């Protein structure tokens, strides 16, 4: 993954000294941590109650499916309406749904379908993450700092993926379901307050309902005609369908196959992002440089290879380490997934292209459903192995078609 860089990474102090970036970075870190905390808690609760891997997968699908259905629309809206206000509303809605689940849990009335509906609502507002908050990052930092800013933000999201599930396991075990959702309410509100204080300006553009379909089509044309962005689109689908779907089976894998506690289930969920943190530090500090779409592909290959090895592991400790190793590649994937769009797409269409990428991320529920159905038939580990093998085949085809140019 080392070669000529897109732009030298900026040291962390210089990035965090930018007030706008600091607020967006904090809000994104908190939002991502709470997203993973809630997914872990919902998965453990659902599996304890039903012992169905399919229902655990369905809980994850409810949170992710709206990205596929509304991602492109979120891109159009994020380009036309005030992005700061959209982000504030996003955190307010997520705080409200978590508060409702907390109240239901305290009353002893919470059911799996409550979690599914709340997850769908949160997923609907989260669909604007790339087109709104990530787009705003590209606007509050200088153009030559975009790659470094995204690398540090991606590393922070990886930290959130470690702390979120781990905190979810601890809080669930100590305070129960209601306690976990109460923590989420407090932190969502903290993120919202941070965004309220953001000094942000954007060029106004009117939203015409009759042009929404045409606006989405224009974004798709930009993505199709630019090889680097097209690589982002294809690899994003492969990774979200065949690679990241493994996360839906973390609870069944940890509780069923390895027989560990909820805390260790949370630790296993954080193994892959732990590896991404290590790579993210190197990227943010400028020790590791990326060469566009090749970095995107190489990072994806590394993660899928680690996933295959993990699926074959008979021991918890070895599985944990293999996911950490695979996670070294996800930092490159996550960084280039966003920075390639921010640097390659024309400014007038950036949010719309981000919306297209959001739709690609939203294909993840298809993989989650598939891996959940497979797991019910052949077990969690074999299901992960099958999905990862298909993903490697898809990446190989993409490398032959789009990976030869260094750009």
Q: For 353, phi and psi rounded to 5 degrees? A: -65, -40
Nearby residues of 398 by Cβ (< 8 Å), 6 or more positions away: 231, 234, 235, 238, 297
Where residue 309 falls among pLDDT bands split at 50, 70, 90? very high
The average pLDDT across 19-45 equals 86
pLDDT tens, 142-190?
A: 777 777 788 788 888 878 877 777 777 788 888 888 888 999 999 999 9
CA distance 129 to 135: 8
Q: How far is CA 398 from CA 46, 109, 227, 333, in A?
A: 37, 48, 11, 14
**Greatest extent of the chain over all pairs of C-alpha atoms, in Å:** 58
Residue 335 has a pLDDT of: 83
Structural domain boundaries enclosing 174: 17-199+212-402
Q: How confident is the model at residue 364 (pLDDT cuts 50, 70, 90)?
A: confident
Domain with 63 in it: what CATH number?
1.20.1250.20
The reply to whether 206 falls in a domain is no
DSSP labels, 322-361: HHHHHHTTHHHHHHHHHHHHHHHS-GGGHHHHHHHHHHHH
pLDDT at 369 over 50: yes
H helix intervals, 9-145: 12-16, 19-50, 53-80, 83-106, 112-126, 135-140
Residue 42 lies in a domain: yes
Contact 168, 41 (CB under 8 A): yes
Let me know if residue 27 belongs to a domain.
yes
d(CA 223, CA 54): 34
Which residues make Cβ contacts (< 8 Å) with residue 389, sequence separation at least 6? 308
Residue 6 belongs to a domain? no
- pLDDT of residue 11 exceeding 60: no
406: pLDDT strictly greater than 60: no
In terms of average pLDDT, the best of 72-76, 318-322, 343-347, 368-372 is 318-322
Higher pLDDT, 370 or 403: 370
Residue 73 has pLDDT above 60, yes or no: yes
pLDDT at 14: 66
Given a cut of 60, whether residue 314 has pLDDT beyond it is: yes
Residues comprising the chain, all counted: 407
Percent of the chain with pLDDT over 90: 19
**Other C-beta atoms lying within 10 Å of the C-beta of residue 123:** 24
Sign of dihedral through CA atoms 204, 208, 212, 215? negative
* Distance (Å, whole) CA 54 – CA 376: 7
Find the Cα–Cα–Cα–Cα dihedral 158, 340, 293, 12, rounded to 10°: -40
Q: Give the C-alpha separation, 312 to 351, whole Å.
A: 40
Entry pTM: 0.73
Residue 236 and residue 229 in contact, taking contact as beta carbons nearer than 8 Å: no
Please give the average per-residue pLDDT across 204-229, as a whole number. 78
CA 159 to CA 136: how far, in whole Å? 21
Rounded to the nearest 10 degrees, what angle do helices 83-106 and 146-196 cross at?
60
Give the percent of the chain with pLDDT over 70.
91
**Mean pLDDT score, 262-277:** 80
Question: Does any domain span residue 253?
Answer: yes
Number of domains forming the structure of the chain: 1
Whole-number pLDDT of residue 291: 65
Give domain status of residue 11, yes or no: no
* Residue 407 included in any domain: no
Query: Which region holds residue 286: left if phi is over 0, alpha if psi is between -120 and 50, else beta?
Result: left
- Tell me the CA end-to-end span of the chain in Å, nearest whole number: 13
Q: How confident is the model at residue 98 (pLDDT cuts 50, 70, 90)?
A: very high
Q: Which residue has the higher pLDDT, 10 or 405?
A: 405
Average pLDDT rounded to a whole number, residues 326-330: 88
Report the range out of 147-156, 212-221, 228-237, 255-264 with the highest average pLDDT: 228-237
Domain assignment present for residue 330? The answer is: yes
């Amino acid at each position: 993954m080392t070669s000529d860089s897109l732009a030298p990474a900026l040291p962390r102090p210089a990035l965090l000294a930018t007030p706008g970036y600091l607020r967006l970075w904090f809000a994104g870190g908190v939002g991502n941590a709470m997203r993973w905390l809630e997914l872990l808690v919902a998965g453990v609760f659902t599996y304890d109650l039903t012992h169905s891997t399919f229902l655990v997968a369905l809980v994850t699908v409810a949170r992710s499916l709206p990205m596929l259905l509304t991602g492109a629309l979120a891109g159009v809206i994020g380009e036309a309406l005030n992005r700061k206000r959209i982000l504030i509303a996003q955190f307010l809605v997520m705080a409200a749904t978590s508060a409702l689940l907390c109240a239901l849990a305290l009353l002893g009335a919470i059911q799996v379908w409550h979690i599914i509906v709340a997850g769908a609502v949160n997923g609907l507002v989260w669909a604007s993450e790339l087109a709104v908050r990530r787009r705003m990052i590209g606007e509050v930092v200088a153009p030559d700092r975009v790659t470094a800013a995204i690398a540090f933000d991606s590393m922070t999201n990886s930290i959130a993926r470690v702390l979120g599930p781990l905190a979810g396991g601890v809080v669930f075990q100590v305070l129960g379901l209601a306690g976990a959702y109460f923590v989420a309410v407090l932190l969502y509100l903290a993120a919202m307050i941070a965004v309220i204080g953001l000094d942000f300006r954007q060029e106004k553009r009117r939203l015409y309902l009759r042009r929404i379909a045409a606006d989405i089509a224009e974004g798709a044309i930009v993505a199709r005609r630019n090889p680097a962005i097209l690589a982002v689109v294809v690899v994003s689908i492969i990774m979200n369908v065949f690679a990241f779907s493994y996360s839906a089976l973390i609870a069944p894998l940890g509780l069923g196959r390895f027989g560990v506690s909820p805390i260790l289930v949370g630790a296993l969920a954080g193994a892959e992002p732990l590896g991404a943190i290590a790579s993210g530090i190197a990227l943010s500090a400028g020790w590791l440089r990326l060469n566009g779409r090749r970095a995107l592909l190489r990072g994806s290959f590394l993660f899928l290879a680690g996933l295959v090895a993990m699926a074959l592991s008979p021991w918890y400790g070895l599985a944990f380490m293999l996911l950490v190793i695979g996670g070294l590649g996800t930092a490159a994937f996550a960084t280039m997934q966003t920075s390639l769009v921010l640097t390659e797409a024309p400014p007038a269409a950036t949010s719309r292209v981000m919306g297209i990428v959001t739709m690609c991320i939203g294909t993840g529920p298809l993989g989650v459903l598939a891996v959940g159905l497979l797991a019910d038939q052949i077990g969690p580990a074999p299901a992960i192995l099958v999905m990862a093998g298909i993903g490697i085949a898809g990446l190989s085809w993409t490398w032959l078609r789009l990976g030869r140019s260094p750009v």
